[in-house]
Amino acid sequence: MAHIIGQNIPNLPWQDKPEGFAYPVWRYSGNPIITRDDLFFSNSIFNSAVVPFGEGFAGVFRVDDRTRDQNIVTGFSADAVHWTLDEKVIFKGYDPRICEIEGKYYLSWVNLTPRGTTIGLAVTENFKNWKQLEDATYPVARNGVLFPRRVGGEYMMLVRPCDRGHTPYGDIFLQCSKDLNYWGKYRFVMGPVKNWEMTKVGAGPTPIETDLGWLMFYHGVITSCNGFTYSMGAAILDRDEPWKVLHRADSFLLAPHELYETVGDVPNVVFPCAALADAATGRIAIYYGAADTCVGLAFTTVDETVDYILAHDLAITDSRGE
């Protein structure tokens, strides 16, 4: 039995696992929860992130518009399934994550600069007024994911250095900061090991703290003659030194399978960006972009996922990509 260390979310969206379903992560039957047409002028709405906010939930959503500019907007929901998005663009860029730390909400996203993508950082208390902070990296980097609390007194961020294209540089690193302004203590976390993730890996949702360690969902990419396929994997990182991988599943937990994941602007993409975790029940709701077109919702529990990771564990030397 593993336990989530964190808040209770009694209104977490939930559906029981379908009878006879063999795997640890199952999809919401009403997927996709956000479609490409949910905003005027949107081409697609996909890799997006949500958090509990007030009595309900708030989120940051990637909206590629009909000029194919990449924008981030906010949205609100009472049940974390039905969302009302705001047309107003808060930042340009893509793949937003949102993380509550000490009562403030931090947005990290792929910020567009003339020299390539960096990790932008901004903070809000109300999802209306945002204060942009210094970028957390130099170009070129993507998939910047904050931890929800300081570890050893320092803020921590997972990040994937990359080049201006899609490959190479496919490893997850970690960086630390005392003030969210200056970053350092760069640590290698893990690189691709198995075929399903062989091209690159990148952090996904805010890591979930458990008594066994930080549960990290991430995406892994395989290249086939038809292009990239993005799937979701999971690993457990040391609670005090989260650059150390304690356990890691050798196989994906969710991969493109349904039509809305296999058909779209970029076919065969499952790209997790957020997870709501209820400490009381161990339930987890995962939000992921599907086929770079819409947003899907999937469910698991901390026990289902941890049991799967432990039953399919890679050797630690493997998981460091060495």
- The residues of the shown chain that bind ligand BMA, judged by CB under 6 A, are 47, 94-95, 166, 230, 266, 269, 271, 289, 292
Q: Reduce the DSSP state of residue 305 to 3 states and report it.
A: helix
DSSP string, 133-161: ---SS-SSEEEEEE-SS-BTTBEEEEEEE
DSSP letter at 195?
Answer: G
Tokens of 170: 């496919």
Q: What is the DSSP string of 121-132?
A: EEEESSSSSEEE
Q: Which residue, 17 or 166, is less far from ligand BMA as judged by CB?
A: 166
Q: Kindly list the distances between the CA atom of residue 167 and the CA atoms of 69, 108, 150, 161, 299, in Å, as whole numbers in the listed order.
A: 22, 21, 31, 10, 30
Give the DSSP H/E element, type plus range, for residue 73.
strand 70-77
What is the smallest separation between the CB atom of 127 and ligand BMA, expressed in angstroms? Answer: 22
Closer CB to ligand BMA, residue 36 or residue 320?
36
Bridge partners (DSSP) listed for residue 299: 26, 285
43 or 47: CB nearest ligand BMA: 47
CB of 219 to ligand BMA, least distance (A): 8
The residue among 101 and 266 lying less far from ligand BMA, judged by its C-beta, is: 266
Cα separation of 194 and 12, whole Å? 33
Of 94 and 260, which CB lies nearer to ligand BMA in the complex structure? 94
φ and ψ of 189, to 5 deg:
-105, -60
* Torsion angle, alpha carbons of 283, 222, 159, 49, to 10: -40
If one counts every other C-beta atom within 10 angstroms of the C-beta of residue 145, the result is: 28
* Cβ nearer to ligand BMA, comparing 234 with 269: 269
Residue closer to ligand BMA by CB (options 7, 35) is: 35
Backbone angles phi, psi at 158, to 5 degrees: -85, 145
Q: Name the residue among 306, 317, 314 with its Cα closest to residue 196.
A: 314
What is the smallest separation between the CB atom of 95 and ligand BMA, expressed in angstroms?
Answer: 5
| DSSP secondary structure of 3-23 | -B-S---TT----PPPTT--S
Shortest CB 281 distance to ligand BMA, Å: 30
- The closest residue (CB) to ligand BMA is 266
**Residue closer to ligand BMA, measured from CB, 219 or 283:** 219
- Closest distance between ligand BMA and the C-beta of residue 72, in Å? 12
- Report the alpha-carbon distance of residue 296 to residue 231 in Å, rounded: 13
For the chain, helix (H) and strand (E) counts, in that order, are 3, 23
CB of 230 to ligand BMA, least distance (A): 6
Q: Output 183 or 288, the one with its CB closest to ligand BMA.
A: 288
Instruction: Judge contact between 5 and 210, C-beta under 8 A.
Output: yes
